[in-house]
Each structure stands twice: as C-alpha cells, then as structure tokens.
Amino acid sequence: MANSRKFVAKTKDVSLTVKRAESFSISYVDCKKRYVSD
C-alpha cells in the first residue's frame, strides 16, 4: 500500500509539473506574440 501511495504522489507531482510547464510556455508564447505584434 505504501508503494502505491508513493506512486500516486509521484504521478500527481508529474502532472503538476506538466501543468506548470504548459502554462509557462503559453504565457511565454503570449509575450512573444505581443512583443512581435508591437
């Protein structure tokens, strides 16, 4: 049971990291677009 709990925690951590990376790249692209359009 402890093993599966660790696995779930790791999976949550990974999904959080992915979400963060996605939102970061989205905001980065937004900034780039704004910078280029100006």
Per-residue pLDDT of the chain (38 residues; tens, 9 = 90+): 678 888 888 889 989 998 998 999 988 888 888 888 76
pLDDT computed for residue 9 by the predictor: 84
pTM recorded for the entire structure: 0.51
3-state SS of the chain: helix, strand, coil percent to 5?
A: 95, 0, 5
pLDDT computed for residue 38 by the predictor: 64
Q: What are phi and psi of 36, to 5 degrees?
A: -70, -40
pLDDT computed for residue 35 by the predictor: 80
